[in-house]
Amino acid sequence: MSIKIRFFARFRELLGTDIVVEAGADTDIASLVKRTAQKNKEGYDAIFDDRGKFREFVIVMRNGKRVETADANKIPVGGNDEIAVFPPVAGG
pTM score of the predicted model: 0.92
For the beta sheet containing 19-22, the strands, ordered from the edge strand earlier in sequence to the opposite edge, are 19-22, 2-7, 82-86, 59-62, 65-67
pLDDT band at 91 (very low <50, low <70, confident <90, very high): low
Domain extent listing, the chain: 2-86
pLDDT at site 17:
87
User: Does pLDDT of 92 surpass 80?
Assistant: no
Rg of the chain on CA atoms, in Å: 12
Beta bridge partners of 88: none
pLDDT at site 88:
83
Instruction: Give residue-wise pLDDT tens across range 2-56.
Output: 999 999 999 999 999 899 999 998 999 999 999 999 999 999 999 999 999 999 9
Query: Is residue 8 classed as helix, strand or coil in its secondary structure?
Result: coil
Amino acid at 86: F
Mean pLDDT of the region 68-73: 96
Amino acid at 85: V
Beta bridge partners of 80: none
Class of 2-86 per CATH? alpha beta
Please state, in angstroms and rounded to a whole number, the distance separating the CA atoms of residues 27 and 62. Answer: 14
